[in-house]
Structure 1
Amino acid sequence: MRDVIVVGAGPAGSRYARRAAEDGLDVLVFEQGTIGEPLACSGHVSTDVLEYVPEDDRADLRQNEIYGANFHLGGPDSRAYPFYKENVISQVIDRVGLDQTLADAASDAGATVRDGHTVTEVDERADHVEVTVKGADGTETHRARLVAGCDGPQSRVRDAVGLPEPDELLHGVLGFDPAPDAGEFVDVHLNVPRFFAWRIPRGEAGVEYGLAAPPGESVGDRFDALTDAYGVETERRCSGLIPIGPPDSVTSDRVFLLGDAAAQTKPFTGGGIRYGMTAADHAARTIDPARPETLADYEDAWRAELGREIRLGAWVRRGYSLPEPIQRVGLRLFSGQIGVHMDEPSSLFSRAQLRALFSR
């Protein structure tokens, strides 16, 4: 019997598998398809994300460095309100490569990583969990003391054990223009209901366009309007769901959720790579598979670090739906040099941000 079966080899699942294997646990990871594919997530991340990657792999994953963002209340021809730092504020990475690199790191640490295996059943028992998977060679059943559900916003593991769903699921769309662009600013358009659209220069890898919106909105039509306004045709398009708002519990008797399955994401951007890997580190530190009661320690630990940021992020997102005259005043007032961290809404109240505001 394994110590832990991890379902899903995205950033959160692979990060946990690596840390748990380094601690000597017997870890088995299942990924439904090819690791990292299909792409359904932006590659624009904070500067901290590559710290979770083996040092020798970081340069190969980095595609561009970003120093700021131009906010618009309309399309690309509308007035831009710049927010920037003198140093790098974020970076653009090879998103597929990130998943593959993290999975390789987990394997190098001793975890068994198997792609092309779809989990079809998760059955909690009194002293173990049985996981049924379907692969190219047929159906298998495996047993473990615990299961980590890292299988995305529509988590099969979460549903199998009756854990609650995220508060909200947004529909996101991405498209890519291959024309190289080493620009240092992203563009953010606050003309999408309850969220935003974006343009991200990715260096030699081209340009990423995207947007997200609540269910019921025609994201495809809005995406076409975005790319038409920029005068580009994207070569490929992908889409996915973005979970917003973690439920009250992400653990059952022998199952715990990580990453998008637990809605450990930023409500104001939808990004969850760093939050998911932060939670994975807490899981590795606090959970002992021989003592399922330690799942409560994991709940306490990740919420203590991320809960406040998620709540503040929800307040930031409310600003996207304010009347345009109020948005215009706010953007005009606060645009310029900033001292915030893109993953930490609490940094809006930091000394660095105050210094930036009063040094203008």
Structure 2
Amino acid sequence: MYDFVVVGAGPAGSRFARRAAEEGYDVLALEQGSVGKPLACSGHVSTDLWEYLPDGTRKELLQNEISGARFHVGGPDSEAHPFYTDGVISNVIDRVGLDEHLAHAAREAGADLREGHTVTGVEEAADHVLVSASTPDGSAEFRARMVAGCDGPVSRVRRALSIPEPDELLHGVLGFEETEDGSEFVDVHLTAPRFFAWRIPRGEAGVEYGLAAPPGERVRELFDDFTEEYGVDTVDFCSGAIPIGPPERVTSDRGFLIGDAAAQTKPFTGGGILYGMTAADHAAERIDPADPGTLSDYESAWREDLSREIRLGTWLRRAYSLPEPIQTAGLRAVSGEIGVHMDRPTTLLSRDHLRALLRS
């Protein structure tokens, strides 16, 4: 019997599998398809990412360095409100390569990570969980002391364990244009209903265009209108759900959720790579598969670390729906040099940010 069966080998799942294996636990990780594919997430991340990856990975994954963002209330020709730093504030990376490197690190740590395994059922018993899966050879059942649901926004594990749903699921779309662009600013357009659209330069890899909005808001049509305003034709179009708002609990008797399955994401951007891996570390450090009582330790730890950031991020997101004149006036008033961390909105109240505002 395994200590943990991990369902999903995205950043959160592979990070947890690696850390749990390093703790000496017997870990099986199951990925539905091939690791990292299909792509359904932006590759714009904070520089903290490299702390979670083996040495030397940065050189292979880095595509561009970003020093700021230009906010627009309208389209590409509308007034730009820049926010910037003197240095690098974020990175653009090979998103598929990130998943592949994290999965490799999990395997190197001793986790048994299997691709082509689609989980079809999860059953909890008094002293174990039974995970059923379709495999390249047919089907199989795996018994473990606990199951970790790291299987994304529409989590099968979450439903099987009767864990509440996230507050909201947005619909996000991505497309790519191949013209090389090594500029240092991303563009954010507050034009999509209740969220935004973006343009991210990816160096030699081209440019990423994206948009997210609530389902039913003609998201693909909005995306096509957005890219038409930029005068580009995108390739490699992909889409996916973005969970916003963690449920009141992310654990059951012998199961727990991490990452997008737990809606451990930033409400103001939808990004969840760093939040998910942060929660994965808390899970690996605190959960003992032989003691279900430790699941509450995980609940407490990740919420203590991230809940304040998520609450403040929710307030920031509300500004996306303000009337355009108020948005424009607010952006004009606060644009300039910043001292904030893109994953930690509480840094809006930091001394570094206040000093940057004074310099501006």
Q: Settle same-fold status: TM greater than 0.5.
A: yes
Aligned to 2:4: 4
Percentage of identical aligned residues: 70
CA distance, structure 1, for counterparts of residue 33 and residue 171 of structure 2: 21
SS of the residue corresponding to residue 55 of structure 1 reads coil
Instruction: Name the aligned partner's letter for residue 247 of structure 1.
Output: P
Aligned to 2:59: 59
Aligned to 1:190: 190
CA distance, structure 1, for counterparts of residue 235 and residue 323 of structure 2: 35
Aligned to 1:218: 218
SS of the residue corresponding to residue 196 of structure 2 reads strand
Instruction: Name the aligned partner's letter for residue 287 of structure 1.
Output: I
SS of the residue corresponding to residue 333 of structure 1 reads helix
CA distance, structure 2, for counterparts of residue 133 and residue 221 of structure 1: 36
CA distance, structure 1, for counterparts of residue 304 and residue 76 of structure 2: 39
Aligned to 2:150: 150
CA distance, structure 1, for counterparts of residue 242 and residue 257 of structure 2: 16
Deviation per residue, 1:62-92 (Å, 9 max, x gap): 1000000000000000010000000100000
CA distance, structure 1, for counterparts of residue 50 and residue 103 of structure 2: 14
CA distance, structure 2, for counterparts of residue 182 and residue 125 of structure 1: 54
* 1:58 Cα deviation after fit: 1.6
- State yes or no: 1:346 paired with 2:346: yes
Aligned to 1:302: 302
Aligned to 1:267: 267
Deviation per residue, 1:291-348 (Å, 9 max, x gap): 1110000000000000000000000000000111111111001100000100011001
CA distance, structure 1, for counterparts of residue 154 and residue 198 of structure 2: 24
SS of the residue corresponding to residue 304 of structure 2 reads helix
Instruction: Name the aligned partner's letter for residue 264 of structure 2.
Output: Q
Aligned to 2:161: 161
**TM-score normalised over the length of structure 1:** 0.99
Instruction: Name the aligned partner's letter for residue 269 of structure 2.
Output: T
Within a 5 Å distance, the mapping from 1:70-85 to structure 2 comes to 70-85=70-85
Aligned to 1:238: 238
CA distance, structure 2, for counterparts of residue 214 and residue 345 of structure 1: 23
Considering only aligned residues, what root-mean-square deviation do their CA atoms show, in Å? 0.5
SS of the residue corresponding to residue 191 of structure 2 reads strand
* 1:280 Cα deviation after fit: 0.2
Instruction: Name the aligned partner's letter for residue 339 of structure 2.
Output: G
Aligned to 1:103: 103
Q: Identify unmatched segments of 5+ residues in structure 1.
A: none
* 1:55 Cα deviation after fit: 1.2
CA distance, structure 2, for counterparts of residue 355 and residue 276 of structure 1: 30
SS of the residue corresponding to residue 106 of structure 2 reads helix
* 1:263 Cα deviation after fit: 0.1
SS of the residue corresponding to residue 229 of structure 1 reads helix
Give the ranges of 4+ consecutive aligned residues of structure 1 lying more than 6 Å apart after TM superposition: none
CA distance, structure 2, for counterparts of residue 57 and residue 345 of structure 1: 27
Total equivalences in the alignment: 360
CA distance, structure 2, for counterparts of residue 156 and residue 54 of structure 1: 30
Instruction: Name the aligned partner's letter for residue 129 of structure 2.
Output: V
Aligned to 1:125: 125
* 1:359 Cα deviation after fit: 1.4
Deviation per residue, 1:84-131 (Å, 9 max, x gap): 000100000000000010000000000000000000010000000000
CA distance, structure 2, for counterparts of residue 189 and residue 109 of structure 1: 42
Aligned to 1:249: 249
CA distance, structure 1, for counterparts of residue 205 and residue 170 of structure 2: 26
SS of the residue corresponding to residue 20 of structure 1 reads helix
Aligned to 2:176: 176
CA distance, structure 2, for counterparts of residue 21 and residue 234 of structure 1: 40
Q: Identify unmatched segments of 5+ residues in structure 2.
A: none
SS of the residue corresponding to residue 56 of structure 2 reads helix
